[in-house]
Amino acid sequence: MKAVIQRVSEASVTIEGRKVADIRKGLLVLIGIEDASTTEDIQWLTSKIANLRIFGDENGVMNLSVKDIDGEIIVVSQFTLHASTKKGNRPSYIKASKPDIAIPLYESFVKQMEADLGKKVQTGEFGADMKVALINDGPVTIIIDTKNKE
């Protein structure tokens, strides 16, 4: 499981002209699921994201988490995070899970993220053609792969 976490001053997701998610200060989390992803990966990753200290404290030092600042989160499924570009110029997505595996894991990820954050998490729509808008604050972008958790 891979996540791209972006600290944002605002972010939104629009599908077919309809805004489905809209936050102010917080995190935009792009999540890529592969067949090897587990419930343990979900629990580890959501806890890591909720407690990641990437917001400035009173001294401007990145010392606060999204929970500490009462920030918001949007989670967007993005299978392209598992793109392989080793051969040629057309990426292969063979490592990304098919919907029958990915959807339940994505839904579990969102529920666990809400439990770790202690409030509702906004989302995109799995498999939809989404327009994601954000103002990356910093910019701060962190990439986490659960294969590298040890």
DSSP codes joined into one string, 60-115: S-EEE-TTTTT-EEEEEE-GGGG-B-SSSSS-B-TTBPPHHHHHHHHHHHHHHHHH
Task: Assess whether 80 carries a catalytic annotation.
Answer: yes
Q: What pLDDT digit, counting tens, does each position of 9-59 carry?
A: 999 999 999 999 999 999 999 999 999 999 999 999 999 999 999 999 999
CATH assignment of 2-148, among 3.50.80.10, 2.60.120.280, 3.40.50.720, 3.90.870.10: 3.50.80.10
The whole-model pTM stands at 0.94
Query: Residue ranges of the domains in the chain?
Result: 2-148
Query: How far apart (Å, rounded) are the C-alpha atoms in residues 29 and 122?
Result: 10
Tokens 């799995």 belong to residue? 126
Query: How far apart (Å, rounded) are the C-alpha atoms in residues 58 and 83?
Result: 39
Q: Provide the 10 A C-beta neighbour count for residue 67.
A: 18
Q: Can you read off the two tokens belonging to residue 149?
A: 């958790």
Q: What pLDDT digit, counting tens, does each position of 63-93 carry?
A: 999 999 999 999 999 998 988 888 889 888 8
121 burial (CB, 10 Å; 0-12 / 13-18 / 19+) is buried
100 burial (CB, 10 Å; 0-12 / 13-18 / 19+) is exposed
Among 80, 123, 141, 146, the active-site one is: 80
Contact of 102 with 33, CB cutoff 8 Å: yes
Q: What pLDDT digit, counting tens, does each position of 122-149 carry?
A: 999 999 999 999 999 999 999 999 999 8
